[in-house]
Chains A and B, each alone.
Chain A
């Protein structure tokens, strides 16, 4: 790894100052993506600004029907949270299936969505639930946040502080894991929410996570796996790589959508 200066600010103000004062700063949370990337010299920031020491960043709290999860809450904390479980057990299940136990002890929800890996789990969960991403500058709807493969609506140096999720009427997640990496080869999150049925697909799209209008329409009229059978899921815009062809991914989207609906 190249030399890097480490900062651990205790407040957002100090974090903003540390980012602003550095030649090229990167925000550090659980490090489960950033550190492997730095080890491989694919990233070489001059400074890393660790956001885990900022007060409130790991809190998880319920108010009314909404759970707010601090950006630095680990996958293990979300998986075990009774607050998350009361609002959306499917999100806790999703967190429990990310990577392996050691990765879940360190990796965070904020880091996962800031990274927006096209095969990551949380982007599907948050887009499927119509979550709100809270930063030190504004609130961003999940529909506007995930803008493409490894890209988001975040400005340079903008810090995610929390994610809020409203209680869905029902929700479910199913993923077909890449057997080596455990990332999603295809993952589908389905939710019936106040604003209608939402279906988000990860692991498959060439532009990262996306909503599937055909599956949403089918599940709106009939919430069942039979309804999914009648949907035409094409392979246009899906990834083809050594793990799976676009056609196979299209097939998996239907299978995962059925499993997710059945799990809800």
Chain B
């Protein structure tokens, strides 16, 4: 067991976790934050993406025990009285069908917009498609997801 204290969506969250507990399990089972989805066993689908210290990571491929002192943001932590611009854009552009991949798409979308803004690079449609390589959607065919992220980038 490892004693960890992290900040999840702005609130302190601590607990004794077994070494093998994945961040995705810690979020879903210990904190009951089930917005973070688990869609595969192979670290490939991206449904589980959250932000750790401001960077997109696959929560199914990080040990909770390694995150003492970390700041974690999940999809539940985005809306602040009103929806985050990325959430609004997915709604407006019909960026989801079943919604299973959506939490990961939204967290990856915010991460790429933030990175490109910081680096002063233009987030073109081609760049969005390239950046989404680690997020798989079995419903939408991606077009509306790309549109949503492009739309949100303009208002973030």
Question: Is there contact, CB below 8 Å, between A102 and B19?
Answer: no
Kindly state the separation between the CA atoms of A47 and B2 in the bound complex, as whole angstroms: 13
Q: Tell me which residues across on chain B come within 8 A of A1, comparing CB atoms.
A: 20, 22
Closest chain-A Cβ to B32's Cβ sits at a distance in Å of 21
Closest chain-B Cβ to A4's Cβ sits at a distance in Å of 4
Known interface pairs A105-B57, A106-B61; A35-B22 also in contact (CB < 8 Å): yes
A103 at the interface (CB under 8 A from B): yes
Known interface pairs A1-B20, A6-B19, A182-B133; A35-B56 also in contact (CB < 8 Å): no
Q: Tell me which residues across on chain B come within 8 A of A234, comparing CB atoms.
A: none
B112 at the interface (CB under 8 A from A): yes
A32 at the interface (CB under 8 A from B): yes
Question: Is there contact, CB below 8 Å, between A31 and B61?
Answer: yes
B37 at the interface (CB under 8 A from A): no
Kindly state the separation between the CA atoms of A76 and B115 in the bound complex, as whole angstroms: 11
Question: Is there contact, CB below 8 Å, between B66 and A101?
Answer: no
Question: Is there contact, CB below 8 Å, between B42 and A101?
Answer: no
B35 at the interface (CB under 8 A from A): no
Kindly state the separation between the CA atoms of A38 and B60 in the bound complex, as whole angstroms: 12
Known interface pairs A31-B63, A100-B46; A48-B19 also in contact (CB < 8 Å): yes
User: Which of B20, B44, B135 has the most chain A CB atoms inside 10 A of its CB?
Assistant: B20
Q: Tell me which residues across on chain A come within 8 A of B68, comparing CB atoms.
A: 8
Choose from A6, A106, A181 the contact partner of B2 (Cβ within 8 Å).
A6
Question: Is there contact, CB below 8 Å, between B133 and A100?
Answer: yes
Which residues of B1-41 are within 8 A (CB) of A?
Answer: 2, 18-20, 22, 41
Kindly state the separation between the CA atoms of A182 and B115 in the bound complex, as whole angstroms: 21
B78 at the interface (CB under 8 A from A): no
A39 at the interface (CB under 8 A from B): yes
Question: Is there contact, CB below 8 Å, between A32 and B56?
Answer: no
Q: Tell me which residues across on chain A come within 8 A of B55, comparing CB atoms.
A: 76, 105
Question: Is there contact, CB below 8 Å, between B19 and A5?
Answer: yes
Q: Which residue on chain A has the smallest CB distance to residue B64? A: A6
Kindly state the separation between the CA atoms of A67 and B69 in the bound complex, as whole angstroms: 30
Question: Is there contact, CB below 8 Å, between B133 and A40?
Answer: no
Kindly state the separation between the CA atoms of A204 and B108 in the bound complex, as whole angstroms: 32
Contact code string A90-119 (vs B, CB < 8 Å = 1, else 0): 000000000111110110000000000000
Which residues of A97-146 are within 8 A (CB) of B?
Answer: 99-103, 105-106
A-B contacts, 25 listed (Cβ < 8 Å): A2-B20, A4-B19, A6-B19, A6-B63, A6-B66, A28-B66, A31-B61, A31-B63, A36-B41, A50-B66, A52-B66, A99-B134, A100-B131, A101-B56, A101-B112, A102-B46, A102-B49, A102-B56, A102-B58, A103-B43, A103-B134, A105-B52, A106-B57, A106-B58, A182-B133
Q: Which 9 A-B pairs have the closest CB atoms?
A: A100-B134, A6-B19, A6-B65, A1-B20, A4-B19, A100-B133, A105-B55, A36-B43, A4-B20
- Residues in chain A within 8 A of chain B (CB atoms): 1-6, 8, 28, 31-32, 35-36, 38-40, 47-48, 50, 52, 76, 80, 99-103, 105-106, 181-182
